[in-house]
Amino acid sequence: MRKFAIYGKGGIGKSTTTANLSAALSMMGKKVVQVGCDPKADSTLNLLHGEPVMPVMDYYRKYTEGPDFEHIGKEGFGGVFCIETGGPTPGLGCAGRGIIATFDLMDEQEVFQKLQPDVVLYDVLGDVVCGGFSAPIRDGYADEIFIVTSGEKMALYAAANIIKAVENFKSRGYAQVKGVILNRRNVDDEYELVKAFADEHGLPIVADIPRSKDIQYYENKGMTVVEGNPDLAVSQIYQDLARELLQA
């Protein structure tokens, strides 16, 4: 079982990247679990054709106890099993605690033992790398980390903070950053900026994803671009990235 965490600042496109990777991996015949670790609980929406799964934290609020295995998630496109952690009531509580509670519940319900996935993808908000948001780094859930960034200053700043957080756990043998995914915003000298950042940290750029109206077109239809038209150039990039991750 390969376990990847996809990190990046809010709004950088990590959920789009993760969902398209899940779709691509499923089309390769892999059994995939995607865990959305964001209070917005929208990581898996396009795998579920716009019909969201109830986040674990919402389930706790509604029923006072966590869901059983039958209700912890549901299957989306390609048989991808979709789980969303959710978060606290806005303005109350710590969002990171939702991740910890969900991970504990997944262990209790033996989700991976029952599903026997080939690949697990965690979609993790990278603006915050403390507490629950660092759980995939430090608690053995993910083995490999990839960071989604553009050439924008704040995206690179968040990426640098993620790398620092990982470095703090390096001596403990936890997950390691394996590469950078460039998700373009068409800023000046974007590739050069991200290449300089990657080189500074000794990391490869494993994918260069262009801005594409096709991605938004299919998301408006409630699906990933990989599902909508796997033959498009941008879909091929996601499929190549899926193969790259498995070969790394």
Q: What's phi and psi for 34, nearest 5 deg?
A: -115, 125
**Catalytic (active site) residue 40:** yes
**Catalytic (active site) residue 127:** yes
| C-alpha dihedral, 173 to 114 to 131 to 21, nearest 10° | 80
Candidates 42, 118, 127, 139; catalytic one? 127
**Catalytic (active site) residue 14:** yes
For residue 6, the 8-state DSSP code is E
Candidates 40, 178, 195, 221; catalytic one? 40
Nearby residues of 123 by Cβ (< 8 Å), 6 or more positions away: 6, 14, 15, 18, 19, 34, 35, 36, 37, 38, 43
User: Which of 21, 106, 32 minimizes the C-alpha distance to 67?
Assistant: 106
| Residues with active-site annotation | 9, 14, 40, 127
